[in-house]
Amino acid sequence: FMQDRGVLVACLQETWRVTPTGIEIEDLGDGYLVLHHGETTKTCKRGRNGVSIVLSPEGRAAWEAGGSKYIHSGNGRMLTVTLAVEGGATLKVGCGYAPGSGKSSAERQAFYDDVAVQTRGGGHRDTSVTFLDANASAGVGVHACD
């Protein structure tokens, strides 16, 4: 899929993968790499939360050139990698899965605080892009379930 379409990075949400150390790095071969972030213990039968970032060979090379940096939340909902780009700049790519509208305002706010921390740029040449399953309910206030 990624090779056929020239995709550098793919972000996946709701992977339901348990990652006991918070992060697992999987080499798929042919230069492709997956960083998985999920809950550290299985909290229900099928699993919940979880995000992954898939890097093409070019994306992997940029990640390694940038120091193989990643940051993740403590709950399996947010993962960000840093890629080196031309001219010494960086590209931060974030992948997030927001709590649903049935969760408390505090839990939803904590998620968006994680997003803000993980996607801060370091300088004027740095770019940040975040892909979210935001579980948005258009026209519904943020405190509708509190």
**CA-CA distance, 95 to 93, in Å (whole number)?**
7
Reduced to 3 states (helix: H, G, I; strand: E, B; else coil), residue 46 is coil
Tell me which residue of 5, 65, 54 sits closest to 31, measured CA to CA. 54
Q: 125 pLDDT exceeds 90?
A: no
Confidence of residue 25 (pLDDT cuts 50, 70, 90): very high
- Model confidence over 34-93: pLDDT tens digits? 999 988 888 777 767 889 999 999 999 999 999 999 998 878 889 999 999 988 899 999
The answer to whether 93 and 121 have CB atoms below 8 angstroms apart is no
Tell me the pLDDT band of 22, cut-offs 50, 70 and 90.
confident
Task: Kindly write down the DSSP assignment for every residue of 86-101, as one continuous string.
Answer: GGG-EEEEEEEEPPPT
Percent of the chain clearing pLDDT 70 (strictly above): 90
124 versus 61: the higher-pLDDT residue is 61
pLDDT for res 61: 97
